[in-house]
């Protein structure tokens, strides 16, 4: 009888331990299949370019493909909601950016709380927006843009990547600080906005540097200024908007998020491999060519950035009474 009881106790202990051992094994084995990386914009924009560069590094590093899935719409909320509702198993991640911080205030009701429902994984880079115009546009500086806009109120079309997008808010901040009247024309992503800027359908865009850099270098677009507080390393000869509009600042940024409750082991692994990519000489050059400043760090570091940006843009939206 004692032998049977002792055997039962051993079997019970083994069964209790199985889920724990299985969970650890699963976390250690991650990734054992392709990872879906959800991007909230159309292909070809700055967000998409950054995700594909870093995604290729992670694919090579981890031996499983990071599949970029573009889910544009609602200023990245469609993509965010998709990831919020995904299984927290490390096989669905989100390209997190400034729009996610903006949307927390811009949208009165959302089916999720971004800070609560998305776990920060890793920061990637910050980039300046660049005020770009069609080469045929008469203004060559920010001062000339302001003067032309004031002389032609309502006649300049200002494109953006969508209502409430980072480009939209950067443009609205510019309008409020200068008193100019430009007509906002929203698109479903930066790529189609740039396409119409190139054809002359619209005249101005506060574009991210990854999406606009190549067009600036080839002369297809004319850059007037960067939106960061200081000049960008990738465009050292370009002045800042703040040189003409003191106090103006707006930067885009990128990182990785995952569904809340994703195992800490997976988040830490993905953070570690992302930071390794940001330290890789070849990837650093590719990202620097896009005008980016790398922001390696811990998941907590990236979480602080999200919280700070949410508070900053919330104040701007409320002060300017910006509504969709």
CATH number, domain of 136, equals 3.40.190.10
pLDDT more than 90, % of the chain: 70
Number of structural domains (the chain) is: 2
Same-domain check for residues 275 and 173: no
Same-domain check for residues 122 and 256: yes
74 occurs within a structural domain: yes
Same-domain check for residues 53 and 155: no
> Looking at 198, 226, 243, which one is the last position of a domain?
243
What lies within 8 Å, CB to CB, of 280 at 6+ separation is 57
> Looking at 199, 222, 243, which one is the last position of a domain?
243
Q: Does 322 have pLDDT greater than 80? A: no
Q: What is the pLDDT of residues 240-281, one digit of tens each?
A: 999 999 999 898 899 999 999 999 999 999 999 999 999 999
Same-domain check for residues 132 and 167: yes
Name the pTM for this structure. 0.75
Beta-bridge partners for 96: 255
What lies within 8 Å, CB to CB, of 311 at 6+ separation is none
Which residue's structure tokens are 């969709």?
324
Same-domain check for residues 277 and 136: no
CATH number, domain of 109, equals 3.40.190.150
Query: What span, in angstroms and rounded, lies between the C-alpha atoms of 163 and 73?
Result: 10
Same-domain check for residues 167 and 187: yes
pLDDT more than 70, % of the chain: 91
Q: For residue 132, give the nearest of 238, 205, 209, 230 by alpha carbon.
A: 205
Same-domain check for residues 141 and 205: yes
> Looking at 243, 262, 290, which one is the last position of a domain?
243
Same-domain check for residues 266 and 203: no
Mean pLDDT over residues 268-296, rounded?
A: 93
Q: Does 21 have pLDDT greater than 80? A: no
Mean pLDDT over residues 275-302, rounded?
A: 93
Query: What span, in angstroms and rounded, lies between the C-alpha atoms of 147 and 141?
Result: 10
Q: Does 24 have pLDDT greater than 50? A: no
Same-domain check for residues 151 and 116: no
Same-domain check for residues 137 and 105: no
Same-domain check for residues 159 and 115: no
Mean pLDDT over residues 9-31, rounded?
A: 48
Work out the pLDDT band at 4, boundaries 50, 70, 90.
very low
Query: What span, in angstroms and rounded, lies between the C-alpha atoms of 151 and 300?
Result: 48
Work out the pLDDT band at 3, boundaries 50, 70, 90.
very low
Q: For residue 88, give the nearest of 267, 231, 227, 294 by alpha carbon.
A: 267
Same-domain check for residues 38 and 143: no
- Highest-scoring range by mean pLDDT, 7-16, 115-124, 205-214: 115-124
Domain residue limits at 204: 128-243
Higher pLDDT, 74 or 124: 124
């Amino acid at each position: 009888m004692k032998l049977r009881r002792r055997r039962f106790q051993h079997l019970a202990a083994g069964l209790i331990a199985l889920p724990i051992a299985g969970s650890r094994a699963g976390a250690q084995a991650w990734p054992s299949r392709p990872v879906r990386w959800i991007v909230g914009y159309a292909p070809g924009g700055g967000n998409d370019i950054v995700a594909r560069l870093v995604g290729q590094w992670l694919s090579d590093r981890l031996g499983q493909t990071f599949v970029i899935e573009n889910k544009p719409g609602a200023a990245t909320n469609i993509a965010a909601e998709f990831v919020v509702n995904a299984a927290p198993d490390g096989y669905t991640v989100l390209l997190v950016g400034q729009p996610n911080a903006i949307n927390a205030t811009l949208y009165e009701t959302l089916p999720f709380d971004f800070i609560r429902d998305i776990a920060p994984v890793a920061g990637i880079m910050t980039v300046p927006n660049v005020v770009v115009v069609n080469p045929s546009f008469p203004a060559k500086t920010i001062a000339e843009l302001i003067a032309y806009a004031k002389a032609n109120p309502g006649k300049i079309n200002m494109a953006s990547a969508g209502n409430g997008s980072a480009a939209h808010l950067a443009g609205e901040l510019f309008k409020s600080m200068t008193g100019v009247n430009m007509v906002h024309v929203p698109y479903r992503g930066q790529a189609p906005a740039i396409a119409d800027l190139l054809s002359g359908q619209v005249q101005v865009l506060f574009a991210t540097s990854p999406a606009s850099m190549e067009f600036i270098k080839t002369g297809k677009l004319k850059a007037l200024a960067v939106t960061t507080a200081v000049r960008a390393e990738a465009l050292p000869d370009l002045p800042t908007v703040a040189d003409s509009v003191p106090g103006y600042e707006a930067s885009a940024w990128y990182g990785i998020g995952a569904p809340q409750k994703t195992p800490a082991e997976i988040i830490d692994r993905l953070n570690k491999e992302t930071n390794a990519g940001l330290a890789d000489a070849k990837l650093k050059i590719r990202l620097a060519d896009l005008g980016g400043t790398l922001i390696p760090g811990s998941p907590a570091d990236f979480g602080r950035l999200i919280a700070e940006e949410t508070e900053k843009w919330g104040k701007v939206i409320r002060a300017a009474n910006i509504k969709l």
